[in-house]
Amino acid sequence: MYQIKAFLKQHPHWVYATLVVVPLLLLLGMQYQSLLRLKKTMPIAQKMWMKNCLYKIGTEVKDYLKTNAETALAIPAQPLAEGKYESIEEHFKTHNFRGVKHFFVARFQRESEPQLLVFDPEQKVLAPTCSEQSPSIASACAPWKLLSQEPNSNKQATLAVYESDPNNRILLNPILNQQNQVVGVAGLVLDTKFVVENLLPQYVQKVLPTFFTGDTISNVTVSVYSSCGTRVFSTQTGGQIQEDYLEMQMPFLLTDYKMGIRDCYQTPEQWATWNFVYMLSCSVAMTLMIIGGVGYALRAANREVRLSNMKTEFVANVSHELRTPLSSIRVFGEFMKLGRVKDQEKIREYGEFIETESQRLTQLINNILDFSKIESGRKTYRYAKADMEAIIAETIRMYDVRLKQQGFDLIYEHPTEPFPAVEIDRDAITQAFMNLLDNAVKYSGLAKEILIKLEHRDGHINLSVTDHGIGIPQTDQDKIFEKFYRVSTGMVHDVKGSGLGLSIVKHIVEAHHGKVMVESLPSQGSTFTIQLPIENTEQTV
């Protein structure tokens, strides 16, 4: 339990990530289950929606025919009973009912055949006729003739449909007297061709936008089939007409005709599957984006916390680094000030020690100042032709006192042939080399030997500093050149330092178009190599 608490305290971002990610994943799982249920019910809903569309089209056609037929066939009984056909003729003339071949009226008499008069909508004349519709009309009127002969027949005036002859579909309205007896019928012969080719397309175009909007209208195909299965109308133009996956019969009239509907591109099942995949993909993408955003924010916050801790550690380490040489300088200075040291050899030794610690202090301060300039972008370099070998030899002489005081053996493998002059910033390269030497001294442990090697190879100058100390783990070798970074495991962590030396070395070397490399194994030492091109171009960084 203590270890868990310590881990959570050191890594609070994992707690925050868990508090965000777990609910998001639960929500995604619930949404997945909901989308699965929706995938199952959506095809049913889609088919019902399309069925309602067909039903609405049929209802619109039915309402048009029924309403106009009831009005056009509403003939009073008295003019028919008295044989006053002029008023009936005038009645038919006032109705402009599209989709009618003929109106007709039949007067029933007890002892004789029905008197049949047919009204031609084009000639506006009501007269006896023997047209081709007469047999169908007579057949439709026959049941009502029989009803008219029943003395106690009480009937209601309701429309009746006769479709026994597909070429002559008839609507009848019985005409009743005051005793509710049938005295005749008024009827019409439907123009089937007009209804199919004009009326149905009109109502299809009217109804479709109320069920489908936007681009979906163009994807929906509505077709009409005759009694023999022939497609007599379709909203699809061009291309091969596919089979409909939802059909229904026409209501009221044309009941042997069928209407069909389909999506030109997808069945309801395919559409439901596509919608499921699309919605689930969107949900997963949004969840991943939220998790990614939270992760990025937590990573940034964790980085800031880590950087803050590194800066705090940097201040503590720098304070220690500054205090150590200052304390030594003050102690030896007081000895010399109070005259406690009389031996000239000791005075010279103390002076060298004070000089060495002053150089160490100066190097630390220069690192801090250079780092500040690098961070603010004000660090500049002044390039000039210089002898690299002379710079290295001079720096070694300057550093030799400190190395001897700490018991180090310094081995310098200098080049055997003259070196070409290179264009560098002398002070910057000196500082980078001193940082590598300082790094080798700190992490050598008990192995008091440092190897310095300068060589000319393949158009580059290679300067390497090798120690045989505690080494660096492989996992940390890519990070040691970051600012404030210090290895957090093993003996490396026990050595005090600012964490700026190697980052400054990297900046200086890269400003010279070179690179710095490290080869190291734990407990076997490290080799840092500065590689600089001989041909360099003057620039300001």
Beta strand 449-457 with 409-413: parallel, antiparallel or unpaired? parallel
Report the chain's C-alpha Rg in angstroms: 52
pLDDT tops 50 at residue 540: no
The strand pairing partners of 224, in sequence order, are 233, 259
CATH architecture label of 381-533: 2-Layer Sandwich (3.30)
The domains of the chain are located at 2-67+269-310, 73-194, 212-265, 381-533
Q: Which CATH number fits domain 73-194: 1.10.3470, 3.30.450, 3.40.190, 3.40.5?
A: 3.30.450
- Distance (Å, rounded) from C-alpha 133 to C-alpha 145? 18
pLDDT at res. 9:
61
C-alpha distances in Å from residue 229, one per residue of 58, 59, 226, 264: 18, 22, 5, 20
Beta strand 246-249 with 258-263: parallel, antiparallel or unpaired? antiparallel
- Distance (Å, rounded) from C-alpha 325 to C-alpha 323? 6
Q: For the sheet containing 125-127, what is the strand order? A: 125-127, 115-120, 100-107, 182-190, 169-176, 160-162
pLDDT at res. 154:
58
pLDDT bin (cut points 50, 70, 90) of residue 244 is low
* pLDDT per position as a tens digit, 36-89: 888 888 888 888 888 999 999 999 999 999 999 999 999 888 888 888 888 888
pLDDT bin (cut points 50, 70, 90) of residue 537 is very low
- Distance (Å, rounded) from C-alpha 44 to C-alpha 471? 71
Contacts of 175 (CB under 8 A, 6+ apart): 75, 76, 77, 80, 105, 157, 182, 183, 184, 185, 186
Average model confidence (pLDDT) for the chain? 81
- Distance (Å, rounded) from C-alpha 352 to C-alpha 531? 33
- Distance (Å, rounded) from C-alpha 190 to C-alpha 199? 12
pTM for this predicted structure: 0.51
Contacts of 402 (CB under 8 A, 6+ apart): 356, 359, 360, 441
C-alpha distances in Å from residue 310, one per residue of 13, 361, 366, 483, 501: 18, 21, 20, 9, 14
* pLDDT per position as a tens digit, 304-344: 777 777 677 666 666 666 676 777 788 778 777 777 777 77
